[in-house]
Amino acid sequence: MQKITPFLWFDNQAEAAARFYVSVFKDAAIGPISRYGEAGPGPAGSVMVVEFTLAGQVFRALNAGPIFKFNEAISFQIDCEDQAEVDHYWNALTADGGQPGQCGWLKDRFGLSWQVTPKALGLLVGTGDQARAGRVMQAMMGMTKLIIADLEAAAAG
């Protein structure tokens, strides 16, 4: 059992969001769904909490009204093996109302922030060569979706 579970607050889209995220990730599943009873506070029978798993990580999503909204102070980082994986997650999460951000960040259609990051980025900036790392970081700052070939070109000078 995992010790810490991300718990996401939605207005009324918890189940739709969970089903969307499960469709994006290969190793994913919907778990138990609890519903509001007659005592509320949501409409009886409507989804209260939906549990879902992405890549072995359990999440819970709550329908609790429009009191709180997501912002960039919390994001989920996806470590990608290659450009095809970066492209897959970027395209899926920005589809249907998602918004690209700077440096590999994006907001999905539900307003949740994600970082779609190739593992190559860490390898390119983590060599101890400050000039190389600076070139890579400067290239990254000009990107929305991260392009590994462009980061590698910047590293090479």
Rg of the chain taking only CA atoms, in angstroms: 18
Domain 70-157 sits in CATH at 3.10.180.10
Bond preceding residue 32 cis, omega within 30 of 0: no
Report the Cα 2 to chain-centroid distance in Å.
19
Q: Is the pLDDT of residue 131 over 90?
A: yes
Diameter of the chain measured on Cα atoms: 65
pLDDT in tens, 23-52: 999 999 999 999 999 998 999 999 999 999
Average pLDDT over residues 114-139: 96
Of the candidates 120, 93, 90, 125, the residue with the CA atom closest to the CA atom of residue 104: 90
pTM: predicted TM-score of the whole model, two decimal places: 0.94
The answer regarding whether domain 1-68 maps to CATH 3.30.720.100 reads: yes
Question: How is the chain split into domains, by residue range?
Answer: 1-68, 70-157
- Count helices and strands in the chain by DSSP H and E runs: 5, 8
SS3 (DSSP) at 142: coil
